[in-house]
Amino acid sequence: MSEPAVRRVAVTGLGAVSGFGTGKDALVAGIKAGRSGIGPIEQFDAAGFDHTLAGEVRGFEPAAHLRRPGRWGRSGWFAATAAREAVSDSGLGPGSLAAARTASSFGTTNGESQVLERLAEQVVGQGTDAVSPELAGRTDAGRIAAAVAAELGLTGETMTFGTACAAANYAIGYAFDLVRTGEADYALCGGADAANRATHAGFHRLGALARDVPRPFDKDRDGIVTAEGGVALLLEPLDDALARGARVYAEVLGYGMTCDARHMTNPDAASIAECIRIAQRQAGIKPEEVDYVCAHGTGTRANEAAEVAAVREVFGARVPPISSVKSVLGHTMGAAAGFGALISCVALDEGFLPPNATLREPDPELGPDLDCVPGVAREARVRVAQNHGFAFGGNNAVTLFGKVAA
């Protein structure tokens, strides 16, 4: 088999819908300042829950951003709105994307979970035979990547990944491969999930929800805060981007994936370490070249114990600064790794380390000399950023982004 001819791949557009509102600028400003995007639950009736905070998108008006919002669920709204912003941010006209082979590759944990919630209300309230075929027809998670393609008039490949909380890294990696090998001319990629009752109840029951805010790496961290949002990156060949004078946030250097194949919910440090090594090897990066790790950093004791052990195994004595944007966003599930990718790209472009805003005292059990960037963003030269995403099912995916010399 011949080695595929490959192209370098640039990130030239970014878009986001998050607890900080609609738009990537609001997101980046919020993260850098260490503000919290977390507040009271409004997306479902939180009566009876002990934990009633979430990182929700407030006051989102889909009709202000989308042509046919009635066709899509809330996750699709977020993905399509973020994608539209990424296209606008890239300086490419929407027409040029529609005329080319433009792929749509998005990740999600729960798909159109609010549609499912409404179906469950029908069934519980009126019986199994009350299921609405119109609602049932909108439960397919594949409609998230489809919503992006439809709203932007794209006719290329659509791919929706259901690889839970690592899904956006899978989606970005797949899009990278498509553009790299010429299977696609452009790709919009990222992730989306909507706040919903089932996810909140499930993590609540597992005892995995924080009392107030998530505190990744803190000695008193006690869990996640459920959250929602959508995020999109526009990928195109680096040479094309440079030729048209585009703003290049970063280059996608490569990615890697492993599966623990041990337990559905407990992370596995050895498998994560192997995933990091594979990603670095695919990207042609040595550990000492990595300047920043955008952690999965959920805020649970189990995650950070496994994640830091894996990082130490790979990096040895010199662990790069490591932080989690979940400290301010909460856990946006299928979008989470996409938000990590977005902030990594902006960090490379602008030169800062995103903070662990809620960190009070690093957990001594995670070992000494761990720079978790507490408080607010810190100016720093970042040339290579490593972005983590780990998921239920033992699905691990790590993406690497590099600064492109001006």
287 binds other proteins (CB under 8 A): no
Question: Which of 77, 109, 51, 170 is closest to 331 using CA atoms?
Answer: 109
Go through 143-168 and write b for each residue having 16 or more CB atoms within 10 A of its CB, e for each that does not: bbbbbbbbbbebebbbbbbbbbbbbb
Of 50 and 379, CB closest to other proteins: 50
CB of 163 to other proteins, least distance (A): 5
Residues 243 to 262 in contact with other proteins, rule: CB under 8 A: 256-262
Q: In sequence order, what are the beta bridge partners of 353?
A: 378
Q: In this structure, are residues 191 and 106 in contact, taking their beta carbons and an 8 Å threshold?
A: yes
Q: In this structure, are residues 354 and 372 in contact, taking their beta carbons and an 8 Å threshold?
A: no
Strands 186-193, 229-237: pairing is antiparallel
Residues 32 to 51 in contact with other proteins, rule: CB under 8 A: 47-50
Of 165 and 373, CB closest to other proteins: 165
Rounded to whole angstroms, the Cα distance separating 35 from 32 reads: 8
Among 143, 215, 221, 296, binds other proteins (CB under 8 A): 143
321 binds other proteins (CB under 8 A): no
Q: Output phi, psi for 66, to 5 deg.
A: -125, 155
Q: Catalytic: 165? A: yes
141 binds other proteins (CB under 8 A): yes
Among 20, 77, 161, 217, binds other proteins (CB under 8 A): 161
309 binds other proteins (CB under 8 A): no
Residues 73 to 112 in contact with other proteins, rule: CB under 8 A: 104, 108-112
149 binds other proteins (CB under 8 A): yes
| Annotated active-site residue in 165, 189, 275, 372 | 165
| Annotated active-site residue in 294, 331, 372, 388 | 331
* DSSP assignment string, 346-393: HHHHHTEE--BTT-SSB-GGG-S-----BSS-EE---SEEEEEEEEGG
Among 140, 240, 313, 371, binds other proteins (CB under 8 A): 140
Site map (CB under 8 A) of other proteins, residues 180-219, x = contact: xx-x-------------xx-xxx-xxx-------------
Binding segment toward other proteins, per CB under 8 A, in 150-158, 220-228, 285-293, 301-309: 150-158
4 binds other proteins (CB under 8 A): yes
Q: In sequence order, what are the beta bridge partners of 10?
A: 236, 251
387 binds other proteins (CB under 8 A): no
Tell me, by CB under 8 A, how many residues bind other proteins.
87
52 binds other proteins (CB under 8 A): no
CB of 219 to other proteins, least distance (A): 26
* DSSP assignment string, 195-262: --HHHHHHHHHTT-B-SSS--TTBTT---B-BB-EEEEEEEEEHHHHHHTT----EEEEEEEEEE--S
CB of 241 to other proteins, least distance (A): 21
286 binds other proteins (CB under 8 A): no
Rounded to whole angstroms, the Cα distance separating 56 from 183 reads: 36
158 binds other proteins (CB under 8 A): yes
Rounded to whole angstroms, the Cα distance separating 318 from 370 reads: 9
Binding segment toward other proteins, per CB under 8 A, in 17-25, 174-182, 187-195, 307-315: 174-182
SS3 for 44? coil
Of 183 and 222, CB closest to other proteins: 183
70 binds other proteins (CB under 8 A): no
Among 274, 304, 307, 349, binds other proteins (CB under 8 A): 274
Q: Catalytic: 294? A: no
150 binds other proteins (CB under 8 A): yes
Question: Which of 56, 61, 60, 64 is closest to 37 using CA atoms?
Answer: 56
| Annotated active-site residue in 51, 65, 200, 296 | 296
Q: In sequence order, what are the beta bridge partners of 323?
A: 294
Query: For residue 172, what are its two tokens?
Result: 């970005």
Q: In this structure, are residues 253 and 271 in contact, taking their beta carbons and an 8 Å threshold?
A: no
Q: Catalytic: 331? A: yes
Q: Known catalytic residues?
A: 165, 296, 331
